[in-house]
Amino acid sequence: MKFLAQDKLQAFLGHLAGESRVVAPVKGDDGVVLFRPWSPGTEVELDVLLPKQSAKEFVLRQSETYLRYGYAMEGEAAAQVDDSHEAKVVLDDPAERKAAQDTAVTAHAALVVEPVNDAPAQVIFGLRPCDARGFVQMDNVFGGYGGFYFDPYYNAKREATTLVAVTCRDPRSTCFCTSVQGGPASTEGADVLFTQVEGGFAVEALTDKGETLLASAEFVDAAQAQVLYAETVKETAEARVDAAFDLEGIQEHLRANIEDPGWHDLAMRCISCGTCTYVCPNCYCFNITDEMVEGRGERIRTWDNCFNPSYTLETSGHNPRDTKSNRFRNRFSHKFWYYPEKYDSLLCSGCGRCITHCPTRIDIREVLSVMGSERTAVPATTGEEA
Amino acid sequence: MASTQNTAGGNGKSRLTFADVKAGVTTAAAGTLAGNPYLPQIATIIDIIDETPNIKSFRVRFDDEAVMDALAFDPGQVGQLGIFGVGESTFAINSSCSEKRYLQFSVMKAGEVTSALHELNVGDKVGVRAPMGCGFPVDAWKGKNILYIMGGIGSAALRATISYTLEHREDYGDITILYGARTPLDLTYKYDIEDWQIRKDIDAVITVDRDFPGWEGRVGFVPTVLEEMAPKPANTIAITCGPPIMIKFVLQGLQKMQFTDEQTYTTLEKRMKCGIGICGRCNIGPRYVCVDGPVFSMAELRELPDEM
């Protein structure tokens, strides 16, 4: 185990910033702590346990252009196409119109489509173990687990990213990482784990990528006392996270309770804003749209929100998830039943952001305690929600 | 059969890396979707057929001849057809698997992408990602009677499968096609219907919802006509596709006629985005219509939440 003195942190990050982008929790002028690109001299905010958003944005961009295309109108050919088009529109001689159409087709022949996949090296410093684990949990869907498709955009960024996690000294009342097989000092997904001790950090490399980082001169070997102190910090933190619900059998219970009216009751106060999906470190569902201006365009993917009624709305007007409780049920079932069934991984790392940021105080722990356990027979409700 | 199905691609249950994809470890990375499954192949429209007042069929050919030559798909598989600048939508590949000159998609004018497609001309460029999803288990059906029950543009989803069973006629027992549309004008693939009615080795019943000037054929809704036909379930596979309400009543009818869930198949459509099981859009419970479907047996559907 290594030791990094508190006053060497800036030097270490500065060192990293010389080789790659560094992202860290930074307090903005508005007082909000978010993961932001770090520059030398900026203070890293580790006293606030969780930045408002997870760090997923730096691997799965909130909005990402993945194709650029152009009905290429450059050069001589393009100029001619434009001229002839302008001129022929007013002519109604069929032969000339045909010629104009042929030219237009030629212009289309110059269609160029290029993938865009920028993945510069980056280090995300100061994320909590739950956020680091969030990436691991998403990896399976993007990594073609079980023979499905491999996503080159997510994986390029993922591979170019080094995660430096920091043990949670002071878990919040909304933390429930220990209920989902994690913990305040969980190492899953992290390349390096920092643990705050007196005067600095006890530091352990967990992967080859992590080893490389610790080769930096700012690190010294940790003293035995520091190692023991770090262990105590971890154990104390672990003990402070309450058990929220029982994971055992949750998949089967969710399956059995699929038509249970309890979903309706729990979803009543949801306003379908989708905040939980955006702040979540592993809600990954996305939309795809095209934007084009003057013959040049982009195909873009953006975070999406399965609570939005238009998420599943079909052109015909048919909506397979036409009630709020069905959409509500989908998110929780996705995380604890659908995803685990397909990818052998949970899709929740217990950060609790969805609890703290929900405007109507919906608590995932309550939802799972109720719907993820055996339900006694309840008479079906007669009313359907609006 | 082309081995383009993308489930359990020979690598067991592990995550892939760029190296795996490069080495072709996954079957999902084969063919036109190798490397970057989001990147459409540019294709040219070589023919457009007006099927009905609001349905056109587009025959498209990949500009890259090598891609065209290598194309192989199973009956029932789908593709994403799109226009750069507008977007992509999912359509069944309805040309025959043996057709090497083009891929055919039939498009009903309804939303943004389909309306834009209807504006295109021969020679225009489109983007195509295909094939996707799982086709019908036509090999497992060998020796069985096949009953197709389809309505409206549901015919597009079954056309490649009908072609396959007709091209391999000796492998199957009786083949029956029940096809209905609102009016005679709404019947797709009239050239196919003529062929079916001439052939002696298939039984085709064409119906329209209500009387129509000049129509001398059968009149009645598909589920009603099916009941009148009273097909026997013995050694028979029933495959249905059409508007949701038709499918609902057809499935009820089949159940009444003692067709089991294992004998009954349908193919679903859902709003889709990526088409490759990642974006999370088209799930019904733990299954994605794009990669686990669009073909499902009734037995599979019974396991899923009622979110059709």
Contact indicator for B146, B165 with CB cutoff of 8 Å: yes
CA A42 – CA A7 distance, rounded (Å) = 13
Mean pLDDT (chain B, rounded): 91
CB of B289 within 8 Å of a chain A CB? The answer is: no
Q: Which of B42, B87, B306 sits opposite A290 (nearest CB)?
A: B87
**Encoding tokens for residue B104?**
């055919």
| A114/A69 Cα distance (integer angstroms) | 6
How high is the mean pLDDT of chain A? 89
Q: In degrees to the nearest 10, what's the CA dihedral of B235, B194, B106, B76?
A: 20
Does B214 reach chain A within 8 Å, measured CB to CB? no
A113 and B277 in contact by Cβ < 8 A? no
Read off the pLDDT of each residue in A85-108 and give the average, rounded to a whole number.
Answer: 51
Give the DSSP H or E segment for B298.
helix B298-302
Q: Measure CB to CB from residue B286 to each of A141, A284, A337 and give the nearest one.
A: A337
Looking at residue A31, what is its pLDDT?
Answer: 93
Query: Backbone phi, then psi, for A152, in 5-degree steps?
Result: -70, -20
pLDDT at B87 over 70: yes
Residues of chain B in contact with residue A71, where contact means CB-CB under 8 angstroms, are 84-85
Q: Which residues pair with B42 in a beta bridge?
A: B127
pLDDT score recorded for residue A111: 87
A325: which residues sit within 8 A by CB, 6+ positions away? A263, A264, A266, A267, A385
Query: Which pLDDT value is given to residue B11?
Result: 45
Q: Which residues of B touch A341 (CB under 8 A)?
A: 286
Q: Is A84 on the interface with B (CB under 8 A)?
A: no
Distance CA A96, CA A105 (A): 14
- Find chain A residues with C-beta within 8 A of B283's C-beta: 330, 334, 338
> Which residue in B4, B11, B15 has the most chain A C-beta atoms within 10 A of its own C-beta, making it the best mutation to test that interface?
B15
Which of A71, A150, A319 to substitute to test the interface with B, most B CBs within 10 Å?
Answer: A150
Task: Tell me, yes or no, if B33 comes closer than 8 A to chain A by beta carbon.
Answer: yes
Q: Does B121 touch chain A (CB under 8 A)?
A: yes
pLDDT at A100: 55
- Residue owning tokens 């909590």: A128
Residue B52 amino acid letter: T
pLDDT value, residue A73 = 55
Q: Which residue among B11, B37, B273 places its CB closest to the CB of A149? A: B37
Between residues 239 and 268 of chain B, which touch chain A (CB distance below 8 Å)?
244
Identify the burial level of A30 via C-beta atoms within 10 angstroms of its C-beta, where 0-12 means exposed, 13-18 middle and 19 or more buried: exposed
The whole-angstrom distance between A90's CA and the closest CA on chain B is 20
- The DSSP H or E segment spanning A69 is strand A63-71
Residues of A in contact with B127 (CB under 8 A): 113
- Indicate the pairing of strand A2-5 with strand B287-288: unpaired
Give the Å distances, CA to CA, from B188 to A22, B24, B193.
58, 39, 9
A with B: how many residue pairs have Cβ under 8 Å apart? 170
Q: What's the average model confidence in pLDDT over A264-288?
A: 96
pLDDT at A87: 36
Note the pLDDT tens digit of each residue in B160-211: 999 999 999 999 999 999 999 999 999 999 999 999 999 999 999 999 999 9
Region A34-63: mean pLDDT is 95
Least confident of A64-78, A255-269, B261-275: A64-78
Domains located in chain B, CATH noted: 18-132 (2.40.30.10), 145-267 (3.40.50.80)
Contacts of A309 (CB under 8 A, 6+ apart): A272, A319, A322, A324, A327
Instruction: State percent of chain B over pLDDT 90.
Output: 84
Q: Averaged over A219-234, what is the pLDDT? A: 95
Q: What is the pLDDT of residue A375?
A: 84
- pLDDT one-digit tens code per residue, B226-244: 999 999 999 999 999 999 8
B39 and A313 in contact by Cβ < 8 A?
Answer: no
List the single residue in B6, B110, B125 with the smallest CB-CB distance to A315.
Answer: B110
Closest CA–CA distance from residue B31 to any residue of chain A (Å):
13
Mutation choice for A interface testing from B6, B13, B16, B26 by most A CBs within 10 A: B16
What is the reported pLDDT for A295? 81
Region A257-267: mean pLDDT is 95
**Model pLDDT, residue A110:** 78
C-alpha A346/C-alpha B20 separation (Å) is: 24
Query: What backbone phi and psi angles, to 5 degrees, belong to A27?
Result: -85, 125
How far away is chain A from the Cα of B201, in angstroms, using its nearest Cα?
Answer: 36
Identify the H or E element spanning A166: strand A161-166
- pLDDT digits over B30-57, tens only? 555 667 899 999 999 999 999 999 999 9
Cα–Cα distance measured from residue B246 to residue A189, given in angstroms and rounded to the nearest whole number: 49
Q: Is the pLDDT of residue B69 over 70?
A: yes
Q: Where are the alpha helices (DSSP H) in chain A?
A: 9-17, 75-89, 94-109, 129-142, 152-159, 208-214, 224-240, 250-256, 262-267, 275-279, 324-333, 339-343, 353-357, 364-371
pLDDT of B21:
76
pLDDT (mean) for A336-362: 96
Q: Does the pLDDT value for residue A106 go beyond 60?
A: no
Q: Report the gap between the CA of A378 and the closest CA in chain B (Å).
A: 19
Preferred mutation among A149, A255, A325 to probe B, highest tally of B CBs within 10 A: A149
A231 within 8 A of A239, measured Cβ to Cβ:
no
Decide if pLDDT at B131 tops 60: yes
For chain B, the first-to-last Cα distance in angstroms comes to: 29
Touching B: A residues 8-47, CB under 8 Å: none
Q: What is the ipTM of this complex?
A: 0.90
Residue contact A145–B276, C-beta within 8 A: no
| pLDDT average, residue stretch A99-121 | 72
Report the 10 Å Cβ neighbour count for B169: 11
Stated pTM of the model: 0.89
Q: Give pLDDT, residue B4.
A: 37
Q: What angle do CA B275, B276, B278 make, to 5 degrees?
A: 105
User: What letters, b where the CB count within 10 A reaches 16 and e where it falls short, cover A82-109?
Assistant: eebeeebeeeeeeeeeeebeebbbebbe
Lowest mean pLDDT among A245-254, A315-324, B20-29, B293-302: B20-29
Distance between CA A14 and CA A36 in Å, rounded?
Answer: 15
Residue of B nearest to A294 (CA): B85
Q: How is residue A334 annotated by DSSP?
A: I
d(CA A313, CA B150): 23
Mean pLDDT for the stretch of residues A150-162: 95
- The two tokens of residue B197 are 């009615």
Whether the CB-CB separation of A244 and A348 falls below 8 Å is answered with no
Nearest to A165 by CA among A185, A179, A183, A182: A185
Q: Is A280 on the interface with B (CB under 8 A)?
A: no
Residues 56 to 115 of B: which have CB under 8 A from any A CB? 84-88, 110-111, 114
Residue B253 has pLDDT above 70, yes or no: yes
Residue in chain A lying closest to B39 (CA)? A115
- pLDDT at residue A103, rounded to an integer: 53
